[in-house]
Amino acid sequence: MPETKKEQIYQTMTFDAIKIGLASPEKILEWSRGEVTKPETINYRTLKPEKDGLFCERIFGPSKDWECHCGKYKKIRYKGVVCDRCGVEVTKSSVRRER
């Protein structure tokens, strides 16, 4: 009997083993994009990340898809552009999860 689409999507994968290791200091430096220099997180008035803080958009990427922090560059047509005012690269906000 043929499987339905729902059953095909939710098929589980089984593994015999998984190995997790620590990253070397050199590898961590390769991954890094900047340095957090201030302990601030989010501005309580604007609810935007503070510059050089723990959630800095310049270091970790934009909070909104295809938009820099100051709003000078909006939309996908500016993909990859680094804003000259705020220093944020215009890209998807999902890069914050990787950086």
For 21-51, the pLDDT digits (tens) are 999 999 989 988 889 999 999 999 999 999 9
pLDDT surpassing 90 at residue 8 = no
Residue 5 reports pLDDT greater than 90: no
Any domain includes 71: yes
**Residue 2 is assigned to a structural domain of this protein:** no
- CB contact at 8 A, 83 and 69: yes
Say whether pLDDT at 70 is over 60: yes
Note down the domain range covering 84.
65-99
User: How many structural domains are present in the chain?
Assistant: 1
Nearest to 82 by CA among 64, 96, 54, 91: 91
Residue 33 inside a domain? The answer is no
Residues 6+ apart with CB under 8 A from 6: none
Q: What confidence tier does 90 reach under pLDDT thresholds 50, 70, 90?
A: very high
pTM score, whole prediction: 0.69
